[in-house]
């Protein structure tokens, strides 16, 4: 009984300290609202000129209120934790030994490991493995974590909290792609996004987009930035594969982290790209994203109770590899758009039916990941050859990232094999 109490109080100590540190940081960060980007820096002045003083002040005060409320709640909760520990000591629950605090810290680390893993893996797969960002700009990874990692974690947590499955995750991933490409970096509408012509093929003048690039951007985010990282981290943590990883406070902080990521990327590209989509374009993108989010929750998780044939995992993985690369290499034309749409719809329907059958297992889910992730490994080398062929460090990065991805697949495969 004493060991159990000691372990519980050890957890109270760790939780209290974590809440106190995060809450204190939020309260201290209130002052940061009145410094750059809204302060006397050149970039802050440019931001004010673009969005206007009233909008900037509104955002600043919203950030202040959010930080004060969340910081106050966390600090208050931390104080309650410490008061409970103090009362326990006074009532004879015993001293809290360092050993139990160490064990509690280890348990807390294990509990938060999948969260940190997903926060980092999502931007790494979505940008670095693809080759969009080279090894030489690895320092930018923390700035991508809020948008990519926060978005992936938010989608995963909401899905698991509502007891839903992969159809919901994938549709929310598509909504994420629409939000990022349509509202955040606005690559859907920017004709010269990152100095690369984006509307040269399959233009839809009435919408101001390229159908081919819209499909590429949105599907890329849905599959590789969201679904693949979630699947890998869940398979590496089998005991918590379909259960929530965060509490209510953690979920709220994740939502704020994602919004912060959207704001960071939006503001950065407003300065570098000097482009802003029209109100009609942004309203349209927001409406599509909202419709996808609502639709995602119509898919309730059902038991695997259907009879029927299911391919062996290695056959499924090979077929997935061929299928996803055929989609990835489709021609940049209206024929390619039609082919891609039919291919995606047919593949989604086949997987939806197969996943409802009794013989479907986590090994089949791993086969899908193993067949899909290598596409970005190859794409990384292709993009480097097209964009920065003389950059030796970028080529070295491609090799390192490829080895990391292969190692990650091997580790995930070993964990899945042990499950069965």
8 Å CB contact between 393 and 135:
yes
Cα–Cα distance between 188 and 223 in angstroms, integer?
Answer: 18
Per-residue pLDDT at 304 exceeds 70: no
Confidence band for 269, pLDDT divided at 50, 70 and 90: confident
User: Residue 227 has which token pair?
Assistant: 């679904």
Minimum mean pLDDT range among 63-72, 211-220, 347-356: 63-72
Digit-coded pLDDT (tens) for 153-195: 999 999 999 999 999 999 999 999 999 999 999 989 987 776 6
How large is the average pLDDT for residues 214-232? Answer: 96
Which two structure tokens, joined as six digits, stand for 180?
């990022």
- Confidence bin at 99 (pLDDT 50/70/90): very low
> Is the pLDDT confidence value at 74 over 50?
yes
> Quick check: 412 pLDDT over 90?
yes
Instruction: Give the span between the Cα atoms of 18 and 160, in whole angstroms.
Output: 24
pLDDT at 83: 65
pLDDT at 211: 93
Phi, psi dihedrals of residue 367, rounded to the nearest 5°:
-60, -40
- Region 91-113: mean pLDDT is 56
| Highest mean pLDDT out of 8-12, 50-54, 325-329 | 325-329
pLDDT > 60? residue 1: no
**pLDDT band for position 409 (50/70/90)?**
very high
Provide the pLDDT confidence category of residue 35 given band limits of 50, 70 and 90: very low
* Lookup result for tokens 């490994």: 377
pTM of this prediction? 0.79
pLDDT digits (tens, 9 = 90+) for 358-389: 899 999 999 999 999 999 999 999 999 998 99
Query: Could you give the percent of the chain with pLDDT greater than 90?
Result: 50
Report pLDDT for 192: 76
Please state whether beta strands 209-210 and 203-204 pair in parallel, antiparallel, or not at all (unpaired).
Answer: antiparallel
pLDDT above 60 (res 206): yes
Q: What is the DSSP string of 198-251?
A: -SSSSEETTTTEEHHHHHHHHHHIIIIIIIHHHHHHHHHSGGGTTS----HHHH
Is the model's pLDDT at 28 over the cut of 70?
no
Count of Cβ atoms closer than 10 Å to residue 206 Cβ: 6
Q: Which two tokens stand for residue 306?
A: 């259907």
**pLDDT (0 to 100) of residue 196:** 59
Distance CA 59, CA 32 (A): 13
At residue 37, the pLDDT reads 41
Look up residue 201 and give its two tokens.
Answer: 């093929």
Q: How high is the pLDDT of residue 247? A: 87
pLDDT of residue 376: 96
Whether pLDDT at 84 is above 80: no
Cα-based distances in Å from 159 to 65, 155, 285, 290, 353: 28, 6, 22, 16, 20
- Give yes or no for residue 2 having a pLDDT over 50: no
Does the structure show a pLDDT above 70 at 285?
yes
Which of 32-41, 270-279, 396-405: highest mean pLDDT?
396-405
Considering only CA atoms, which of 402, 413, 414 is closest in space to residue 124? 402
Measure the CA–CA gap between 394 and 392, rounded to whole angstroms: 5
| Cβ neighbourhood burial of 31 (10 Å; 0-12, 13-18, 19+) | exposed
User: Which whole-number Å values give the CA distances from 144 to 126, 258, 271, 355, in the listed order?
Assistant: 10, 10, 17, 32
Which position has the token pair 């889910």?
A: 365
| pLDDT for residue 191 | 79
C-alpha dist (Å) from residue 334 to 202, 214, 220:
6, 12, 18
Task: Report which of 319, 322, 418, 328 is spatially closest to residue 367, judged by C-alpha positions.
Answer: 319
pLDDT band at 98 (very low <50, low <70, confident <90, very high): low
Closest CA to 222 of 142, 286, 167: 167
Phi, psi for residue 210 in degrees, rounded to 5: -105, 125
Please give the average per-residue pLDDT across 272-286, as a whole number.
Answer: 88
CB 151 within 8 A of CB 258: yes
């Amino acid at each position: 009984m004493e060991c159990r109490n000691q372990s519980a109080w050890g957890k109270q100590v760790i939780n209290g300290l974590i809440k106190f540190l995060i809450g204190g940081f939020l309260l201290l960060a209130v002052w940061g609202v009145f410094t750059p980007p809204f302060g006397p820096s050149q970039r802050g002045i440019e931001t004010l000129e673009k969005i206007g003083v009233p909008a900037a002040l509104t955002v600043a005060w919203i950030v202040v209120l959010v930080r004060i409320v969340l910081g106050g709640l966390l600090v208050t909760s931390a104080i309650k934790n410490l008061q409970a520990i103090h009362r326990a000591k006074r009532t004879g629950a015993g001293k809290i030994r360092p050993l139990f605090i160490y064990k509690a810290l280890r348990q807390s680390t294990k509990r938060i490991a999948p969260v940190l893993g997903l926060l980092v893996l999502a931007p790494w797969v979505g940008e670095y493995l693809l080759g969009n960002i080279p090894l030489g700009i690895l320092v930018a990874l923390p700035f991508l974590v809020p948008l990519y990692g926060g978005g992936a974690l938010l989608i995963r947590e909401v899905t698991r909290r509502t007891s839903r499955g992969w159809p919901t995750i994938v549709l929310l991933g598509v909504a994420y792609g629409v939000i990022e490409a349509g509202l955040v970096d606005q690559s859907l509408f920017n004709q010269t996004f990152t100095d690369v012509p984006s509307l040269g093929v399959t233009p839809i003048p009435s919408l101001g987009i390229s159908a081919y690039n819209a499909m590429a951007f949105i599907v890329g985010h849905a599959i590789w930035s969201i679904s693949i990282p979630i699947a890998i981290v869940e398979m590496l943590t089998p005991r918590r594969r379909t259960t929530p990883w965060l509490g209510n406070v953690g979920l709220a902080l994740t939502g704020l982290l994602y919004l912060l990521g959207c704001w960071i990327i939006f503001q950065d590209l407003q300065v570098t790209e000097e482009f802003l989509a029209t109100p009609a374009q942004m309203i349209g993108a927001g409406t599509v994203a909202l419709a996808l989010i609502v639709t995602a929750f119509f898919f309730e998780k059902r038991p695997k109770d259907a009879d029927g044939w299911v391919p062996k995992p290695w056959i499924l993985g090979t077929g997935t590899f061929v299928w996803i690369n055929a989609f990835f290499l489709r021609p940049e034309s209206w024929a390619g758009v039609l082919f891609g749409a039919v291919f995606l719809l047919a593949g989604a329907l086949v997987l939806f039916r197969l996943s409802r059958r009794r013989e479907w297992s986590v090994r089949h889910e791993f086969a899908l990941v193993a067949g899909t992730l290598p596409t970005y490994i190859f794409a990384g080398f292709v993009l480097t050859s097209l964009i920065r062929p003389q950059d030796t460090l970028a080529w070295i990065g491609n090799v390192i990232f490829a080895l990391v991805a292969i190692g990650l697949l091997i580790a995930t495969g070993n964990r899945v094999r042990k499950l069965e």
